[in-house]
């Protein structure tokens, strides 16, 4: 009697563990999602620096050639800032936090994976745009 109870308990435990295992596709989705989030987390702290650069550049803008180079640098930083804000809004609309149900539907998972790959490209472009606009603005401000 004790042995059959033990086997039943062990079988129930195995079923629970196997049901909780993620499929290969779900694991790939989770890895890619983490990569996208990591890039976001890397550039998000730069938003404050971007705001400061926008203000610092503002006082240097005038009608001279040098002043116009400050205006262009400010526009580049503003564009990168706006790109980040738009990307975050769009991303949260496409991938709401409670998306667990999509992982159980293979078609939905495949569709979400395709969207996530597109988001990976966008967030990589975003990172490059943020970093280059900050670097350019800093270099320009050091020259003055």
Q: How far is CA 12 from the centre of its chain?
A: 39
Residue 125 domain-assigned (yes or no)? yes
Q: What's the whole-number mean pLDDT along residues 120-132?
A: 97
Give the residue numbers spanning the domain of 35.
Answer: 22-143
Structure pTM?
0.79
| Tens-digit pLDDT profile for residues 28-78 | 999 999 999 999 999 999 999 999 999 999 999 999 999 999 999 999 999
Residue 103 domain-assigned (yes or no)? yes
* Under 8 Å between Cβ of 126 and 83: yes
């Amino acid at each position: 009697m004790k042995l059959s109870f033990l086997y039943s308990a062990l079988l129930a435990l195995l079923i629970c563990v196997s049901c909780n295992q993620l499929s290969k596709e779900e694991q790939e989705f989770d890895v890619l999602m983490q990569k996208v989030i990591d890039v976001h987390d890397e550039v998000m702290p730069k938003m404050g620096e971007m705001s400061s650069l926008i203000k610092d550049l503002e006082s240097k803008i005038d009608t001279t050639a040098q002043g116009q180079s400050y205006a262009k640098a400010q526009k580049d930083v503003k564009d990168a800032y706006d790109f980040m804000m738009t990307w975050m809004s769009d991303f949260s609309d496409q991938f709401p936090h409670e998306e667990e149900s999509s992982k159980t539907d293979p078609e939905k998972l495949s569709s979400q994976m395709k969207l996530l790959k597109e988001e990976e490209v966008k967030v990589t472009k975003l990172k490059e745009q943020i970093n280059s606009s900050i670097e350019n603005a800093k270099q320009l401000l050091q020259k003055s």
